[in-house]
Amino acid sequence: VLQNLSQTPVLRELLKEAKMPGTTVKIESPELSMLCCFSFKQEPQLIKLDQPCPLTLAMHQFLTEMQETKKGVVTPKELFAQVCKKAIRFKGYQQQDSHELLRYLLDGMRAEE
């Protein structure tokens, strides 16, 4: 899940800009721009960002490490700790489905913002 998220350019860019509170971000989807020629035009979304919270900061830090590190192995220790604060079920290192992690991670970040 985290490797897939690390390869999501829109998410990486949003998290990079989320570190600067008060920034307004314009989100345009390439898929939506291709659809506009069929029958409707989807306007880009403008979002004003507040100060990022702990889960969002941990996600940004982790994705940055994945993109920029040369050491080969990246450990999501801080990100996992922040997820566990939002979703107690992940404490204790029991096996969980990846879609549950994705849901709690994205829902947790959305709730912070």
Strand partners, 64: none
Residue 40 has pLDDT above 80, yes or no: no
93 is a domain residue: yes
Q: What is the pLDDT of residue 29?
A: 62
45 is a domain residue: no
**How confident is the model over 58-111, as pLDDT tens digits?**
998 898 888 886 767 888 899 989 988 888 777 776 777 888 888 888 888 888
Helices 77-86 & 54-68 angle (0-180, nearest 10): 150
- Is the pTM higher than 0.85? The answer reads no
Three-state DSSP class for 4?
A: helix
44 is a domain residue: no
Give the residue numbers spanning the domain of 99.
1-21+51-111
Q: What is the pLDDT of residue 37?
A: 52
Structural domains of the chain, count: 1
57 is a domain residue: yes
The sign of the dihedral angle between the CA atoms of 98, 99, 101, 102 is: positive
Residue 39 has pLDDT above 80, yes or no: no
| Entry field: residues in the chain | 113
